[in-house]
Amino acid sequence: MGRPKAYKDRIEIMQGTLDMLVLRTLQWGPQHGHGIGQAIRAKSEDALQIEHGSLYPALHRLERQRWLKAEWKASESNRKAKYYSLTAAGKKQLITEESKWNALVQTIARIMNPA
């Protein structure tokens, strides 16, 4: 993975994208909160680092929406951790979020790269 990116090189997450990133990460399999943050950081090659103050409220919000379910299990270090997984409703929501994201990216691209 190399050296972590300097803070100035990190990308600020746009409002509303954290939910989509969490849902996508959990599509790869159940994970505890810290693991979700690590997965996002690793997949983004250190460009995205989710602060706990943003991640855990998002997880609780997604759980209240019933897009995630949680259960307590032993982590890799044998400590109790809350593991999150996608529900059927969460899978549907991920499809919706991805569709909105793709439409936004295409719209911005038309503005940034006019023909």
Does residue 1 fall inside a structural domain?
A: no
Give the separation between CA 49 and CA 41, rounded to whole angstroms: 5
Does residue 88 fall inside a structural domain?
A: yes
Give the separation between CA 30 and CA 50, rounded to whole angstroms: 18
Give percent of the chain above pLDDT 90.
81
Using CA atoms, how far residue 19 sits from 1, 12, 13, 81, 104, in Å, is 25, 14, 11, 20, 16
Does residue 45 fall inside a structural domain?
A: yes
Q: What is the pLDDT along the chain (115 residues), one digit of tens a residue?
A: 455 556 566 778 777 899 999 999 999 999 999 999 999 999 999 999 999 999 999 999 999 999 999 999 998 889 999 999 999 999 999 999 999 999 999 999 999 998 7
Q: CATH no. for residue 46?
A: 1.10.10.10
Query: Domain tally for the chain?
Result: 1
Does residue 2 fall inside a structural domain?
A: no
**pLDDT of the residue at 16:** 80
Does residue 64 fall inside a structural domain?
A: yes
- The reported pTM is 0.86
Give the separation between CA 94 and CA 19, rounded to whole angstroms: 9
Structural domain including 67 reads: 7-112
**pLDDT of the residue at 6:** 60
Give the separation between CA 24 and CA 97, rounded to whole angstroms: 10
Q: How far is CA 88 from the centre of its chain?
A: 17
